[in-house]
Amino acid sequence: MGRVLILGAGGVGGVVTHKCAQVPEVFSEILLASRTKSKCDKIASELSRPIKTAQVDADNVGDLVRLIKDFRPELVINVALPYQDLTIMDACLETGVHYLDTANYEPLDTAKFEYKWQWAYQEKFAKAGLMATLGCGFDPGVTNIFTAYLQKKHFDHIETIDILDANGGDHGYPFATNFNPEINIREVTAKGKYYAYGAWHETPPLSVHHTFNFEGIGPKEIYLMYHEELESLAKNIKGLKRARFWMTFSQNYLSHLKALENVGMTRIDPIEFNGQKIVPLQFLKAILPDPASLGPRTKGKTNIGVIAQGTKDGKYKVAYIKNICDHETCWSEVKSQAISYTTGVPAVVGAIMMMKKIWMKPGVFNVEELDPVPFLEVLSKMGLPWDVAELPAMPPVLA
Ligand code: NDP
């Protein structure tokens, strides 16, 4: 039993708050704090048990420290934006509180995410006797834990992994993003990158693609992208020869994105407009549908998993581990679409692991470094069941 502070009242923050509220035996008191307090209050009004809410500027360490000292949580769940990771980690260190997030730090003025900034906190957290769990959403998060589970239970040696993220959901808008538009578009417009034989290889954005048939969704075009879990998996899964990440996009989404890119709307450098500076991508975010509003409109399923090939008892083997999640079921449970749901539920399961001291050691950890078995047991019970199957061979498009 303990107090938890949730930072960020967006799509993911809503799911995290709903799910923490469902487990009073672990989270005895909840404080949801964000930049706009009215968003926290709206989420609080949907719950069957009372929680506290507050306004906070998570870019400001002093503000965070005051809030944390006042509420005295055991753990901070950071589901604000990646730009706030370091200020929140600093505040946790200053107040002696454990930390968990779902996305790695990214500087506001450079569309480049890397773990180096957060890994640099390793010694500080270790010395303080505190734990920081990084990237505990779905991808990163469950995809890392799926890989760790395959490594532990199904392989002696994993040689390659392909992470496949499919969203078969339809929200009916001509163009919208399923999570924060600014973060989403920065990620999608970046160069593709994959790991092979000890080196990183870059590809032009969305230039490598194939058709893949997803259970529960059907055939979809998958695009090779760089995704942050590749960096930690390449480091932590010993002997890995190749790691790639694939995501589905509809032709309609890509055509809109291309047009927005061509006219400069995805730029992240400030421009002068009517006497003030604006960042085109931030302006675009302001006029696009709020991801949190997609929930009641989205129909269809997500299917996210990992295909690994390697050896077990000297024999070649291919295994596919995945979760399929239904947008409408998520809406009826916690008033969210599946993208926020599949991110928020693993964050809460990671938080349960930490609160119950099942995952608890001083330092900064990526989730594949922690025991996957108890996490995956609780994940199924909390709404994200998964299955693992042996495949006769690698699907030809991935071979
Ligand atoms: P949203 O934009 O919907 O929500 C972000 C929330 O953080 C908003 O409520 C926002 O406040 C708040 N916020 C932003 N800046 C500050 C600040 N300086 N101080 C206090 N609060 C602030 O994003 P999502 O919910 O879609 O995403 C949340 C996080 O989850 C992101 O880091 C995203 O990258 C990550 N994510 C991870 C995934 C995974 O699988 N690992 C998948 C999807 C998302 P306001 O409402 O006022 O704007």
pLDDT single digits (tens) 312-332: 999 999 999 999 999 999 999
Mean pLDDT to the nearest integer, 43-69: 98
Confidence (pTM): 0.95
- Closest Cα to atom 42 of ligand 1: 343
Note the pLDDT of residue 187: 86
Mean pLDDT to the nearest integer, 245-255: 94
Q: How far is the CA of 179 from the centre of ligand 1 (A)?
A: 8
Query: Does residue 380 sit within a domain?
Result: no
Model confidence at 105, in pLDDT bands (50, 70, 90)? very high
Q: Are residues 107 and 218 in the same domain?
A: no
The predicted-structure confidence for 292-314, as pLDDT tens digits, reads as follows: 789 999 999 999 999 999 999 99
Query: Does residue 347 sit within a domain?
Result: no
pLDDT value at 111 more than 80: no
Task: Return the closest-CA partner of residue 26 out of 277, 363, 356, 322.
Answer: 356
Q: Are residues 270 and 318 in the same domain?
A: yes
Does residue 59 line the site of ligand 1, with CB under 6 A? yes
Mean pLDDT to the nearest integer, 98-117: 90
Q: Are residues 212 and 63 in the same domain?
A: no
Does residue 103 line the site of ligand 1, with CB under 6 A? yes
CATH number at residue 219: 3.30.360.10
The predicted-structure confidence for 115-155, as pLDDT tens digits, reads as follows: 999 999 999 999 999 999 999 999 999 999 999 999 999 99
SS3 368: helix
C-beta separation of 31 from 6 below 8 A: yes
Does residue 177 line the site of ligand 1, with CB under 6 A? no
Query: Does residue 346 sit within a domain?
Result: no
Task: Return the closest-CA partner of residue 11 out of 367, 298, 356, 380.
Answer: 298
Does residue 39 line the site of ligand 1, with CB under 6 A? yes
Note the pLDDT of residue 1: 84
Query: Does residue 348 sit within a domain?
Result: no
Q: Which of 102, 134, 166 is a domain's end point?
A: 134
Q: Are residues 167 and 32 in the same domain?
A: no
> Which amino acid appears at position 175 of this protein?
F
Q: Are residues 214 and 307 in the same domain?
A: yes
* Residue 182 alpha carbon, nearest atom of ligand 1: 2
Q: Which of 134, 159, 180 is a domain's end point?
A: 134
Percent of the chain with pLDDT over 70: 100
Q: Are residues 127 and 158 in the same domain?
A: no
Mean pLDDT to the nearest integer, 163-182: 92
- Closest Cα to atom 39 of ligand 1: 137
The predicted-structure confidence for 263-285, as pLDDT tens digits, reads as follows: 999 999 999 999 999 999 999 99
Task: Return the closest-CA partner of residue 5 out of 28, 38, 25.
Answer: 28
Percent of the chain with pLDDT over 90: 93
Query: Does residue 362 sit within a domain?
Result: no
- Closest Cα to atom 23 of ligand 1: 180
CATH number at residue 102: 3.40.50.720
Cα separation, 185 vs 257, whole angstroms: 8
Query: Does residue 358 sit within a domain?
Result: no
Indicate the number of domains in the chain.
2
The predicted-structure confidence for 183-198, as pLDDT tens digits, reads as follows: 888 888 899 999 999 9
Query: Does residue 375 sit within a domain?
Result: no
C-beta separation of 135 from 103 below 8 A: yes
pLDDT value at 352 more than 80: yes
Query: Does residue 370 sit within a domain?
Result: no
* Residue 136 alpha carbon, nearest atom of ligand 1: 41
C-beta separation of 3 from 71 below 8 A: yes
Note the pLDDT of residue 184: 87
Q: Are residues 113 and 95 in the same domain?
A: yes
Rounded to 10°, the helix 142-153/372-381 angle is: 120
Q: Are residues 127 and 199 in the same domain?
A: no
The predicted-structure confidence for 202-240, as pLDDT tens digits, reads as follows: 999 999 999 999 999 999 999 999 999 999 999 999 999
Does residue 118 line the site of ligand 1, with CB under 6 A? no
Q: Are residues 124 and 177 in the same domain?
A: no
Q: Which of 76, 103, 134 is a domain's end point?
A: 134
**Domain extent at residue 33:** 2-134
The predicted-structure confidence for 361-388, as pLDDT tens digits, reads as follows: 999 999 999 999 999 999 999 999 999 9
Q: Are residues 110 and 166 in the same domain?
A: no
Q: Are residues 284 and 229 in the same domain?
A: yes
Q: Are residues 108 and 154 in the same domain?
A: no
Does residue 247 line the site of ligand 1, with CB under 6 A? no
Q: How far is the CA of 230 from the centre of ligand 1 (A)?
A: 22
Does residue 57 line the site of ligand 1, with CB under 6 A? yes
